[in-house]
Structure 1
Amino acid sequence: QWRLHPHGRGWGAPDEEPGEAITSPQIIAFIGRNFQADDAGRWFFQNGPQRVYVRLDGAPWILGLETDAQGSPLLRTHTGLDYGPVTHWWLDPEGRLYAQAGQGAGLVADRDLARVLDTLCTADGRPLDDWLENPDAPVMAVHLGGTETPLGLLSADALETTLGFIRRP
């Protein structure tokens, strides 16, 4: 959900407001087409000469789970782009699942989290739930659609450094 903070109080001020939801399909599509990161990991969209930096409450990409024509799992970004291949999965203490790919960091949307977790399995074919019940076990690899990818735990204070983006530029 893109939001506009016309009074400038969306950056952690004591009176931070939720902002106004951007609902225009044309503006949402424009932002999606022009959404990118600079070399410092700050995400923005370019509007002519104006660069509009974006506060990220989750990650640059919000990921949903779909299936391709063959029925294989497919991750897609909030802007409708295919995402991946995933090079690393990260689980934080609050149970959020992050992915790293060439496009940048992604956060699996809450509505699809259970389905993604059900789709992921360990390198030896066991459900990921086995690992989640014993997270002190060694970091392991998981499969999504036949691709083996490492899975690790991510602390909240290491999110930006590990995943390479700045939440509040």
Structure 2
Amino acid sequence: MDDIVKQALAKWPNVPSCTGWLMLDRRGNWRMRDEAAQASGSPGTPIRHEALLGFINRNYGADEHGQWFFQNGPQRVYVELGYTPWVVRLSANADGTLALQDQAGGAFEPAAAFIDEEGGILFADNADNAARPRVAVLHDHDLEMFSNHATLAEDSMSGEFHWNDQAVLPLQAIRRGEVAMRFGFEPSPAAKV
């Protein structure tokens, strides 16, 4: 969290939080959702300002209830999630090894791989041996690269992902509707704030 945010929280500790105004979409884009977007259920307008994106990413976190938020100075802005709290991109390094990077620019080291009934690929890590692993959906533009490093069973709901020749991650089936409960996050915190 940025120092300026910590200072604002100390100075104004009781600013009410807000919901519905910020969304992380299925492709890892931050979106502003004005009243019209909220009323129509649309994802809103993508944020393109690099400094603002950096500020959001540095001050993104979750509360004890698995509700993800952006700490905007003294105000907590709860985030609507298009799918998972993290979206990762898969790339190959110059030496041919694979890398996963989350929407905030951080490395993501997979410990498990999943496939949902819509063909979405998810990864879970075990960062810092946390009680709840982070879960991230793979950006759909990277599905071809994923398939080049995976062996899928005929049912397309199982198989394995070959992660850098060191690890083979079994590809486990998961229902999209079960992801939030299994990984302990709230995709739409508006009702619980």
Q: Which residue of 2 aligns with 1:76?
A: 101
Specify which of 53, 67, 75 is matched with residue 92 of structure 2: 67
In the other structure, the counterpart of 1:107 is 137
Residues 113, 169 of structure 2: 8 Å contact kept: yes
Percent identical pairs in the alignment equals 30
Q: TM-score, normalised by structure 2?
A: 0.72
Q: Could you tell me which residue of structure 1 aligns to residue 17 of structure 2?
A: none
Matching residue's letter, 1:134: D
Gaps of 5+ in 2: 1-28, 128-133
Q: What is the number of residues matched between the two proteins?
A: 154
Matching residue's letter, 1:5:
R
**Residue deviations 1:76-116, cap 9 Å, x none?**
112211101x1211101110001111351100001001101
Q: Which residue of 1 aligns with 2:185?
A: 165
Cα separation, 1, equivalents of 2:68 and 2:36: 18
Deviation of 1:31 (Å) = 0.7
Give, in angstroms, the shift of residue 50 of structure 1: 0.8
Aligned partner of 1:125 in structure 2 is none
| Higher share in helix | 2
- Structure 1 consecutive aligned stretches of length 4 or more whose deviation exceeds 4 Å: none
Residue 70 of structure 1 and its aligned partner are, at CA, apart by 2.8
Which of these residues, 61, 72, 82, is aligned with residue 57 of structure 1? Answer: 82
Aligned pair 1:48/2:73, yes or no?
Answer: yes
CA distance in 1, matches of 2:121, 2:156: 14
Flag the 1:23–1:42 CA change in 2: closer, same or farther, 3 A.
Answer: same
Is the contact between residue 105 and residue 164 of structure 1 (CA under 8 Å) also seen in structure 2? no
Matched position secondary structure for 2:124: strand
Letter of the 1:115 partner, please give it: M
SS in structure 2 of the partner of residue 65 of structure 1: strand
Pick aligned residue for 2:46 from 21, 33, 52: 21
Residues 39-97 of structure 1 show CA distances to partners (whole Å, capped at 9, x for unaligned) of: 2211111112111111110211111112235320011112211101x121110111000
Which structure 1 residue ranges, 5 or more long, are not aligned?
A: 121-127
2:146 corresponds to:
116
User: Structure 2 vs 1, CA of residues 151 and 49 (structure 1 numbering), >3 Å: closer, same or farther?
Assistant: same
Q: Distance in 1 between matches of 2:69 and 2:123?
A: 20
Tell me, yes or no, if the aligned pair for 1:141 and 1:148 is still in contact at 8 Å. yes
| In 2: Cα distance, 1:17 partner to 1:142 partner | 34
| Cα root mean square deviation, aligned | 2.0
Matched, 1:33 2:58: yes
Aligned to 1:124: none
Question: Aligned to 1:116, what secondary structure does the other structure show?
Answer: helix
Q: Report the CA distance between 1:17 and its aligned residue.
A: 3.1
Q: Equivalent residue for 2:113?
A: 89
Q: Alpha-carbon deviation of 1:135?
A: 4.4
